[in-house]
């Protein structure tokens, strides 16, 4: 595209100055390459994307030689030789060889049916394959891959996109926008596999499928590789020109040989190579100016991109990764599927990512290129040009006051301003009351601010402005309970999804909300939700307790506090072998080994695993220990087998994730040697059965348990325990222990759910046991075998000189 | 600063998004290299200005990290403690080129 464009620019400036010969490897006249995507999608024909037909070349006396690539340049003789043997001399030579698609050299990449997406020939092959029907795999979830996938699926193929990175178009989009894009494409029937690495392409002579490194096999009769491009520089290199990643050019597009110029994707200017068309236009202008003695010069380009998939609007420009001193302005509108993020540094826009509503992309891009100071419009920047410049009301209250009574406030529930005002007038003087009576802001919550402004406007000084619900953190206007409820009600499945649907105001949350969301999803979707390591606190990520000096302590599980010589020996050996400075008996009757270095953890776990010991989860928001006394087997007072019941209970409950740490104890008689009345769940054995206690806490605010009820058998005690834990797991807020939870909701409510409602109790217990089927894996065993070994290894070692 | 001070410490993919890895410096302070959710890369001395917590083990959010010990928030770009806290962790020059992470560790001060 660049070569012909340069010729056009040249002719426009000074038509008679040069006699021009153009060599093209392709059989076609100059066409608009970027429109190949609409051609594939069936939205345009090839003729519609041709830029100049043959007559134009004749009219301008341009010699056009097609299907004949140049194979050698003789700089001494100033000639080029093409494949056909044709030799043509030059005074000035322009190289515009573009890029070659990159083909990953996996086994099978030469099979028939493996193609790239670069020129019209590729498009014709794709169309032919689609006409034959069948399944296609597109490797690469970048701009090009997604456009290929879109075209093929419009042509009726079943398409799977395989993308190595965790988010689509990661070079243009952040995680949030990438997630929206993925959901939209999936809704259109494509299968999108992210984090998927291709192992091989299988088939005898033709493609039959693609195998991933994790073993999955995806059947396919067509494989499109769209994993990147490489500047096509071999011709220039062989001619001895200076070449880096691309052919080196100066500001006038002149290469290291003054008689040879180069433009387009094949060049490297000031360390940059470009893979988009906009820079070409700039380059071609500078080149034509140079060839006609104007010398304006090219100064590099800032680029923006759009995805050309009809109905999906994506825009990205500049540096969306921000960097030093950058701030994010984020707007999420879940009901419209809109996400906008503008990145600002020193009051200037440095990048933008827009999804769903890209109308203002051009405006942001322009402000960015011009380096405009945006401090005066900053507050309204994110709402777009019309709002920020069109005299949009600066005072949000005035803006709300100006709305007509019919204006819709809450889209989810169709509530108008008039209705909200009437409902406030009718006595609903808090946000919750408004939500309760006219439903405004009770669903997705995006209109909460407007409703609050209406409250302030209607009630004047009488409106305290305090939201009854404390928000989860500064990233959201929702409280914990709202978030939990909405996750379940809307069937949300991932952290980015929650953040989008509930209008998070930050790109990826903070250290308060991420661990909470991770837990809520884990609890709501047992066996399905994939845990997010980066949203866990260090102890859970490392499966050990971090200590003040940065080393870790390790507590192996001792079921019910019972141990044996083999376990003791293994612990003693570990202490010696790894030079642990301290071993201590914990308050929960386990042995704690202190001072283990991060990199030694996997070896320590392997040694403990070998003696049959598993992680004690002493680090987790999870079941920690079940403390027991000796009970009827040995103690002269014991009425029941408290040790045995403790062991059984620990076997049932270990590994479960909870809102906070959770401790259990079982005492053999009311003397209560296991201190069961300051545990989250405590059992006191009595002659006639088992007293079940809940909500105890031995922490800063010591709290003695409440008696939940009395049951007669061990089996019942375990069943109630499971039900109680599940109720706590499903309803407490993250980082709320059972004691404050029970004080907040009241013991009566908990009794009603666990004691009085037999059916509800059974359901809770069943849900707990179901989720346990996915949880009771020893996290140490996998790590000891080498899983995620990078967590324990430094990235690299460095010696200082 | 001369170009040869840049040291290649690995690929950007070696660090999980919103994660960190360390670079062990023999005879010097350990360095924490962070990869934010948007792939921006930062490097700091692996020590919280509060009580020395290993920042590499904290939760990375936006361009900040929450210290794993007492939850101070440290800005990755400047090393400054955020909010009501004050203090600063030294930053290390870092850049990414062709997917490789290059850092320029501080040079030992000549005696
Ligand atoms: C399907 C598709 C969609 C795209 N969409 C967009 C988009 O939306 N926005 C955007 O900005 N960019 C897009 N691009 C990228 C854009 O097309 C390129 O940036 C642009 O075409 C580069 O122009 P160029 O002249 O450098 O290379 P090309 O357009 O590739 O031109 C190089 C030409 O040189 C020929 N050639 C190579 N070697 C020789 C030789 N030895 N002798 C003779 N001829 C030779 C090649 O056959 C080719 O025809 C898209 C690309 C594709 C493939
Ligand atoms: S709680 Fe009762 S049974 Fe258990 S050890 Fe103490 S006295 Fe014995
Ligand atoms: S050491 Fe980092 S917050 Fe205390």
**Helix or strand or coil: residue A338?**
strand
Ligand 3 in contact with B41 (CB < 6 A)? no
Q: Which of A546, A797, A801 faces B57 most closely, judged by CB atoms? A: A546
- Alpha carbon distance A197, A141 (integer Å): 12
Q: Say if CB A17 and CB A36 are below 8 A apart.
A: no
Is the C-beta atom of A635 inside 6 A of ligand 2? yes
Give me the pLDDT at residue A784, please. 85
Position of tokens 């439903």? A439
- In chain B, residues with a C-beta closer than 8 Å to the C-beta of A533 are 16, 19
Q: What is the CA radius of gyration of chain B?
A: 13
Model pLDDT, residue A801:
47
* Residue A485 CB contacts under 8 Å (≥ 6 apart), including other chains: none
Entry field: residues in chain B: 111
Q: ipTM value of the model?
A: 0.81
CB A130 within 8 A of CB A157: yes
Interchain CB distance below 8 Å, A794 and B24: yes
3-state secondary structure of A671: coil
- Does B34 sit in the ligand 3 pocket, CB within 6 Å? no
Please list the residues that pair with A338 across neighbouring strands: A333
Residues of B in contact with A548 (CB under 8 A): 51, 69
pLDDT at B111: 44
Nearest residue to A320 via CA among A338, A302, A336, A299: A302
Structure tokens, A458: 């209607």
Minimal-distance CA residue to ligand 1 atom 49 = A26
Choose among B87, B71, B11, B95: nearest CA to A546: B71
Q: Helix (H, G, I), strand (E, B), or coil: what is residue B101?
A: strand
Q: Which residues numbered 51-110 in B keep a CB inside 8 Å of some CB on A?
A: 51-54, 57-64, 66, 68-69, 71, 73, 77-78, 101, 105, 108
Give the number of the ligand closest to the Cα of residue A636. Answer: 2
- DSSP 8-class letter at A531: P
The residue whose CB lies within 8 Å of the most ligand 1 atoms, and thus the one to mutate among A35, A66, A97, is A97
- Dist CA A227 CA A235 (whole Å): 23
Question: Which of B9, B37, B108 is closest, CB to CB, to A175?
Answer: B37
Q: Is B51 in the pocket of ligand 3 (CB under 6 A)?
A: yes
Q: Name every chain B residue with its beta carbon within 8 A of the beta carbon of A792.
A: none
Residue A94 in contact with residue A80, Cβ under 8 Å? no
User: In terms of CA atoms, which chain A residue is nearest residue B6?
Assistant: A798
CA distances (Å), origin A686, targets A188, A678, A722: 62, 18, 21
Residue minimizing CA distance to atom 34 of ligand 1: A97
Tell me if residue A662 falls in helix, strand or coil. Answer: strand
The dihedral of CA B9, B10, B12, B16: what is its sign? negative
Q: What is the pLDDT of residue A399?
A: 66
Of A325, A508, A790, the CB nearest to B37: A508
How far is the C-alpha of B37 from the C-alpha of B39, rounded, in Å? Answer: 5
A168 to chain B: which residues are within 8 Å by CB?
A: none
Nearest by CB to A537, which of B25, B59, B101?
Answer: B59
Q: Which ligand is nearest to the CA of B58?
A: 3
Ligand 1 pocket residue status of A96, Cβ below 6 Å: yes
Min CA distance, A273 vs chain B (Å)? 12
Paired tokens of A136:
């296609």
Q: Collect all residues with Cβ–Cβ distance below 8 Å to A712 and sequence separation of at least 6.
A: A688, A689, A690
- In the reported structure, the alpha carbon of residue B82 is separated from the centroid of ligand 3 by a whole-number distance in angstroms of 12
For residues A241 and A244, give the distance between their C-alpha atoms in angstroms, rounded to a whole number. 10
Determine the residue of chain B that is closest to A511 in CA distance.
Answer: B59
E strand or H helix at A726: helix A714-731
Cα separation, A520 vs A535, whole angstroms:
12
B4 touches chain A (CB under 8 A): no
* Nearest residue, CB atoms, A506 vs list B9, B19, B62: B62
What pLDDT is recorded for position B1?
47
Token output for A323? 């960097």
- Among partner residues A328, A793, A798, which is closest to B105 by beta-carbon distance? A798
Q: Which of A324, A507, A798 is the closest to B23 by Cβ?
A: A798
User: How far, in Å, are A147, A270, A290, B79 from residue A250 at the CA level?
Assistant: 34, 8, 11, 39
What pLDDT is stored for residue A444 in this prediction?
57
Answer yes or no: are the C-beta atoms of A411 and A335 closer than 8 Å.
yes
Query: What ligand 2 atom has the least distance to the C-alpha of A632?
Result: 3
Tell me if A135 sits within 8 A of A223, measured CB to CB.
Answer: no
- Tell me which residue of A566, A511, A42 sits closest to A310, measured CA to CA: A42
CA distance A453 to A239: 70
- Report CA(A669)–ligand 3 centroid distance (Å): 44
Site to substitute for ligand 3 among B45, B56, B70, most atoms within 8 A of C-beta: B70
**C-alpha dist (Å) from residue A152 to A37, A179, A183, A202, B67:** 10, 22, 18, 21, 48
Strand pairing category for A62-65 and A70-74: unpaired
Q: Would you list the DSSP string of A779-791?
A: HHHHHHTTTTGGG
Contacts with A619 from chain B: Cβ below 8 Å: none
Q: A with B: how many residue pairs have Cβ under 8 Å apart?
A: 120
**Residue A801 has which token pair?**
């000189």
Residue A800 with chain B: CB contacts under 8 Å: 25-28, 105, 108
Average pLDDT, 10 consecutive residues per value, chain A (801 residues): 91 88 93 90 87 89 93 95 94 95 92 94 93 93 93 94 91 88 92 93 93 92 93 95 94 94 95 88 90 86 83 85 77 82 90 87 85 85 74 59 75 79 86 80 68 84 64 85 89 92 87 95 93 91 89 95 95 95 94 93 93 93 96 88 96 96 96 95 95 91 94 96 97 94 93 96 97 91 83 76 47
pTM assigned to the model: 0.70
- A657: CB partners within 8 A, 6+ apart: A519, A522, A523, A620, A621, A622, A729, A775
Per residue in A692-725, is it b (16+ CB within 10 Å) or e — as a string? bbbbbbeeeeebebbebeebeebeebbbbbbbbb
In chain B, residues with a C-beta closer than 8 Å to the C-beta of A798 are 7, 9, 23-26, 28, 31, 105
User: What separation, in Å, do the N-terminal and C-terminal C-alpha atoms of chain A show?
Assistant: 50
Q: How far apart are the CA of A592 and the nearest CA of chain B, in angstroms?
A: 19
Minimal C-alpha gap between B85 and chain A (Å): 16
Does any ligand 1 atom lie closer than 6 A to the CB of residue A26? yes
Q: Ligand 3, residue B52: give the atom nearest the CA.
A: 1
Query: Which residues from A are below 8 Å from B when comparing CB atoms?
Result: 166, 170, 174-175, 320-326, 328, 506-511, 514-515, 533-539, 541-542, 546, 548, 550, 790, 793-801
CB A516 within 8 A of CB A495: no
3-class secondary-structure state, position A316? strand
Burial of residue A620 (CB within 10 Å: 0-12, 13-18, 19+) is: buried
Report the alpha-carbon distance of residue A418 to residue A406 in Å, rounded: 6
Residue with tokens 């690995």: B10
Q: Chain B contacts of A345, Cβ < 8 Å? A: none
A672: left (phi over 0), alpha (psi -120 to 50) or beta: left
Burial of A133 (0-12, 13-18, 19+ CB in 10 A): exposed
Contact at 8 Å (CB) between A352 and A215? no
């Amino acid at each position: 595209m660049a070569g012909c464009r340069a010729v056009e620019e040249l002719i426009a400036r000074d038509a008679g100055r040069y006699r021009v010969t153009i060599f093209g490897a392709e059989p076609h006249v100059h066409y608009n390459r970027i429109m190949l995507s609409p051609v594939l999608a069936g939205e345009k024909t090839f003729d519609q994307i041709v830029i100049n037909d043959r007559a134009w070349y004749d009219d301008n006396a341009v010699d056009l030689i097609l299907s004949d690539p140049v194979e050698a340049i003789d700089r001494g003789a100033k000639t080029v030789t093409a494949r056909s043997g044709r030799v043509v001399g030059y005074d000035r030579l322009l190289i515009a060889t573009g890029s070659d698609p990159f083909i990953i050299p996996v086994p099978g990449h030469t099979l028939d049916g493996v193609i790239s997406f670069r020129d019209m020939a590729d498009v014709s092959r794709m169309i032919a394959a689609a006409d034959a029907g069948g399944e296609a795999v597109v490797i690469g979830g970048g701009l090009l891959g997604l456009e290929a996938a879109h075209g093929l699926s419009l042509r009726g193929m079943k398409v799977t996109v395989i993308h190595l990175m965790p988010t689509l178009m990661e070079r243009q989009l952040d995680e949030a926008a990438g997630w929206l894009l993925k959901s939209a494409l999936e809704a259109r029937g494509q299968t999108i596999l992210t984090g998927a690495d291709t192992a091989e392409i299988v088939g005898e002579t033709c493609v039959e499928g693609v195998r991933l490194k994790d073993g999955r096999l995806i059947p396919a009769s067509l494989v499109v590789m769209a994993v990147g491009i490489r500047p096509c520089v071999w011709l220039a290199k062989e001619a001895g020109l200076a070449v880096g990643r691309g052919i080196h050019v100066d500001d006038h597009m002149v290469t290291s040989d003054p008689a040879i110029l180069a433009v387009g994707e094949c060049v490297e200017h000031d360390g940059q190579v470009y893979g988009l068309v906009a820079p070409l236009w700039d380059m071609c202008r500078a080149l034509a100016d140079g060839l006609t003695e104007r010398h304006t010069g090219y100064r590099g380009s800032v680029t923006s991109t759009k995805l050309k998939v009809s109905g999906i609007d994506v825009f990205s420009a500049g540096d969306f990764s921000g960097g030093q001193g950058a701030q994010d302005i984020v707007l999420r509108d879940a009901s419209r599927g809109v996400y906008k993020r503008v990145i600002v540094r020193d009051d200037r826009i440095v990048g933008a990512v827009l999804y769903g509503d890209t109308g203002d992309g051009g405006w942001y891009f322009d402000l960015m290129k011009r380096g405009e100071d945006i401090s005066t419009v900053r507050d309204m920047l994110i709402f777009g040009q019309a709002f920020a410049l069109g005299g949009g009301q600066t005072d949000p209250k005035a803006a709300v006051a100006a709305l007509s009574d019919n204006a819709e406030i809450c889209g989810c529930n169709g509530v108008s301003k008039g209705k909200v005002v009437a409902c406030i007038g009718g006595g609903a003087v808090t946000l919750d009351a408004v939500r309760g009576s006219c439903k405004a802001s009770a669903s997705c919550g995006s209109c909460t601010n407007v409703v609050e402004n209406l409250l302030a406007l209607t009630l004047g000084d009488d409106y305290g402005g305090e939201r009854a619900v404390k928000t989860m953190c500064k990233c959201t206007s929702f409280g914990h309970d709202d978030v939990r409820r909405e996750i379940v009600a809307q069937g949300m499945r991932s952290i980015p999804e929650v953040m989008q649907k509930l209008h998070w105001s930050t790109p990826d949350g903070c250290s308060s909300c991420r661990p909470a969301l991770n837990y809520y999803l884990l609890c709501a979707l047992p066996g399905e939700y994939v845990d997010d390591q980066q949203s866990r606190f260090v102890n859970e990520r490392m499966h050990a307790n971090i200590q003040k000096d940065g080393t870790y302590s390790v507590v192996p599980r001792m079921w019910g506090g019972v141990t044996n010589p083999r376990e003791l020996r293994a612990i003693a050996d570990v202490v010696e072998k790894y030079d642990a400075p301290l071993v201590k008996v914990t308050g929960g009757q386990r042995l704690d080994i202190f001072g283990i270095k991060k990199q030694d953890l996997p070896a320590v776990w392997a040694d403990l695993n070998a003696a049959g010991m598993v992680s004690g989860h002493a680090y987790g928001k999870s079941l920690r220990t079940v403390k027991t006394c000796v009970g009827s087997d040995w103690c002269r007072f014991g009425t029941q087998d408290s040790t045995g019941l403790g062991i059984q209970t620990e076997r049932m409950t270990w590994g479960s994730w909870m809102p906070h740490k959770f401790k259990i104890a079982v005492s053999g008689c009311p003397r209560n040697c296991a201190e069961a009345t300051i545990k989250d769940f405590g059992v006191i054995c009595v002659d006639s059965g088992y007293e079940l206690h809940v909500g105890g806490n031995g922490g800063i605010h010591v709290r003695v348990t409440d008696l939940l009820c009395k049951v007669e058998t061990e089996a019942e005690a375990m069943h109630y325990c499971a039900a109680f834990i599940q109720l706590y797991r499903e309803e407490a807020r993250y980082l709320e222990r059972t004691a404050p939870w029970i004080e907040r909701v009241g013991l009566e409510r908990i009794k009603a759910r666990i004691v009085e409602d037999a059916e509800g109790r059974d359901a809770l217990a069943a849900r707990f046991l179901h989720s346990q089927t996915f949880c009771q894996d020893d996290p140490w065993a996998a790590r000891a075998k080498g899983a995620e070994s990078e967590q324990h290894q430094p990235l690299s070692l460095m010696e200082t000189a | 600063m001369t170009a040869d001070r840049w040291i290649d410490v690995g690929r950007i993919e070696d660090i999980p998004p919103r994660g960190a890895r360390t670079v062990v410096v023999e005879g010097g302070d350990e360095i924490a290299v962070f990869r934010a959710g948007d792939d921006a890369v930062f490097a700091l001395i692996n020590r919280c200005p509060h009580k020395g917590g290993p920042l590499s083990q904290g939760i990375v959010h936006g361009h900040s990290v929450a210290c794993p010990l007492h939850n101070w928030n440290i800005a990755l770009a400047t090393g400054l403690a955020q909010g009501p806290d004050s203090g600063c962790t030294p930053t290390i020059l870092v850049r990414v080129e062709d997917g490789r992470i290059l850092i320029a560790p501080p040079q030992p001060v000549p005696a």
